[in-house]
A and B are shown apart, each in its own frame.
Chain A
Amino acid sequence: MSLPNGPIRQLLYRVLTRFWAWRENAKPLPGGALPSRAPSDNVMRTMNLVMPLKNRTAVGRAEAVMAIAACLDEIYTGLDNVGTVHVARFTIVDDNILMFSFYDGDFRTYIRDFIMTLGHAFDGIVELVENPPPLPCWRHVDEFIEWVHERDALQLPSDPGELAKLVGPEMTNLEDLPRFLAVQLGENRNVQLGAYRAYPGFSVAQIRRAMEAGW
């Protein structure tokens, strides 16, 4: 007999995944792009920064809209000066501010250059977020970088073999993959499933140069 997809079934799933997580000693995996030796994997990398709001009401979301709008121009100028950012999007989804970006090179260098270029502009945004980093961000650069890293979504490989290696390195039977995945998603609630690139392997500056848009 199968249970209906109602509250009891969901409760059962929660209990089960917590039990599995306890049994497997599951831990959150670090988010962000994985290191790679290939130069082409080191450009157009993705960051999916998820920042839950402190105030989870429409008022809180309105505060976030106002804070982002107030510094958007400065952020754009900062990103321009960083020079390695293809795209950055600021979105509110439910009660989270999302900053999703495509960037080139080392993640920590990107975030360091970003916050150093921006100065105070980002402080007004992160003030509204749960467990904000030490402020001002630019005075606590190391802490800010790690704060962003901890909120950068885990990137899941689409290949089942690679996925199994990531979420269940001790797994002996691929049929257990859904269980290991469920356990890991209990630890990493936000994940990236894929990222399409129309021009893989090219940096921002290479594209701007080819388009004669200056770099």
Chain B
Amino acid sequence: MSGVELSELQGNVLRGYRKNVARHIVARVRDAAAARAFLGAAARGEGPLPVTPGTDWGGAAPEILFNVGVTYAGLRALGVSERSARGLSRAFRKGAVSAAKTVGDYGCSAPEHWRPFWREADAVHLILTLHADDAGALDRGEAALPLGGGMEKLGAEEAAWFAPDIVHFGYRDNISQPRFRGFDPKGRWDDQPAAPLGVLLLGHPTGMEQISWSLPEPKVLGLNGSFGAFRVLEQDVEGFEAYLDSAAETLLGSSEADLLLPPGFEGGAEARRAMLREVVAAKFCGRWRSGTPLALSPFDPNPEPPVSDTDFDYSDDLDGVRCPMGSHLRRANPRSAKIVQRVANHTRRLVRRNMPYGPEFDPANPVKAERGLVGYFLCADLAAQFEAIQNDWINIGLQDPRITGANDPMIGDNDASASWFDIETKAGPVRLRGFPSFVRTRGSAYAFLPSMAALRWIGEIGAGSAAA
């Protein structure tokens, strides 16, 4: 790989781990020297719980994978000077609580409704992430952390993988991640133009002419690090399924049903209702729940022969007849489609490191429980990528005049009295209305995922060689 050694990156930055369970331990620094000593040793590969680097581990993954995110308050609490920490971008410094309105965390998603340990802007210092195949291994990993010593546990977010790569709302996920120039992928990557490393890592070209994100002093603190918007997103699965029921029922009684059903669709009222539910679910997302992209298969969730999951674009679907402009997928990444912000195509890519939490929803036996998605949205610039997507594209819909004024139907800040979503057809748009917010933010923090060298540097603060 050109430009960066994988051994210098934290392992969760450039690849997903594909372990069964994860635990994100939210912690404060209680004793800076002890916390630094633990992190420095862990980054050197010493001690009972080394930080997992990006190095290829071959066939056998370690039993417990461990990574560290540090907030601005966390860097300061660890002893990093204000001057150095401030060099890591304004958005990171201000944090997720301050950015709540920018990213659409209003109403019941506002910080005052988050879990208590996420609410205070400066309370969270560290997000200590463990991945393993079972809860016992997570417990062993947690026991190896200096909680009660240099660090104090504030809370934890648990997550678990659902076979086969299903997330709440019933869609197949983990389909693709950005591919980076100079990096030879082994995982599941997409077929979009390879992104420059500066989309994800500090200190590398960004793909925007002449632009690179600034590095702090000393540069080792920032180089090869990434920012992560850590999000705890509760999903109202029952509400989502209920809306699909009501939308299908409404469409079934209208002349618009035939515009949305696959050409030549045969079946009685129940079959039509069931198909319309899936059509609405697919149009909301941009993929069928099977994962098949609408851009390549607008009428069939399981086409034969199968189509690519990733090799598609919207530049040949200008009117959104295959994949609506307002669908979640197309909003968050319009690929090469014509958009209002002409300089923004391909520049706001995010790497998603999320897993579901809460029990899997069984529509035949619905059990009330909190369910959602938890993890990181990684990027090199939180304001230019994550916040710009959330504010201008997920909500408002500024990228295309045909969706401006409507929010993302799946994750947007919606109000049933005003929400709308257009499904384009050859006979004109079919407008759906009346859907509430299906996702509620329960916690968030902006973290920096330092490189291994940066973690070692933090570990040496106060030891004489490192000038914090």
Contacts and interface: CB of A to CB of B under 8 A. Distances in A.
B404 A205 contact: yes
A43 B214 contact: no
Contacts of A37: 101, 106-107, 413
Interface stretch (B304-312, B357-365, B387-395, B442-450): B387-395
A203 B343 contact: no
B396 A105 contact: yes
B84 interface: no
B102 to A, nearest CB: 6
B214 A113 contact: no
Interface string A13-51: 000000000000000000000010101101100000000
A203 B400 CA distance: 10
B299 to A, nearest CB: 28
Contacts of A40: 405
A91 interface: no
Nearest to A35: B101
A152 interface: no
Among B209, B210, B395, B404, chain A packs the most CB atoms within 10 A around the CB of B404
Given A84-B341, A215-B401, A142 B208 contact: no
B395 to A, nearest CB: 7
Given A105-B398, A205-B400, A116 B383 contact: no
B127 interface: no
Nearest to B102: A106
Interface in A162-215: 201-206, 208-209, 215
A73 interface: no
A83 B384 contact: no
A39 B406 contact: yes
A47 B391 CA distance: 18
Contacts of A54: none
Contact of B341 (A35, A42, A82, A145): A82
Q: Does more than half of chain B's interface fall in helix, strand or loop, or is it mixed? A: loop
A215 B101 CA distance: 28
A39 B398 CA distance: 10
B392 A106 contact: yes
Interface in A88-129: 104-106, 108-109, 112-113, 116-117, 119
B342 A83 contact: yes
Contacts of A140: 214
B363 to A, nearest CB: 32
A34 to B, nearest CB: 9
Given A83-B341, A138-B210, A109 B405 contact: no
Interface in B285-301: none
A101 B111 CA distance: 32
A139 B402 CA distance: 34
Contacts of A130: none
B466 interface: no
A109 B390 CA distance: 11
B90 interface: yes
A156 interface: no
A53 interface: no
Contacts of B384: 109, 112, 141
B208 A116 contact: yes
A141 B211 contact: yes
A204 B340 contact: yes
A97 B355 CA distance: 51
A22 B125 CA distance: 35
Given A42-B396, A43-B396, A35 B401 contact: no
B330 to A, nearest CB: 16
Nearest to A203: B404
A106 to B, nearest CB: 4
Contacts of B401: 203, 205-206, 208-209, 215
Interface string B332-369: 00000001111110000000000000000000000000
Nearest to B88: A142
Given A106-B388, A106-B391, A108-B383, A203 B341 contact: no
14 contacts: A35-B102, A39-B406, A42-B395, A82-B341, A104-B392, A105-B392, A106-B102, A106-B388, A113-B344, A138-B210, A140-B214, A142-B214, A205-B400, A205-B401
Interface of A: 35, 37, 39-40, 42-43, 81-84, 104-106, 108-109, 112-113, 116-117, 119, 138-142, 145-146, 201-206, 208-209, 215
Given A81-B342, A82-B342, A205-B400, 9 more contacts: A35-B102, A37-B101, A39-B406, A82-B343, A105-B396, A142-B89, A142-B90, A215-B340, A215-B401
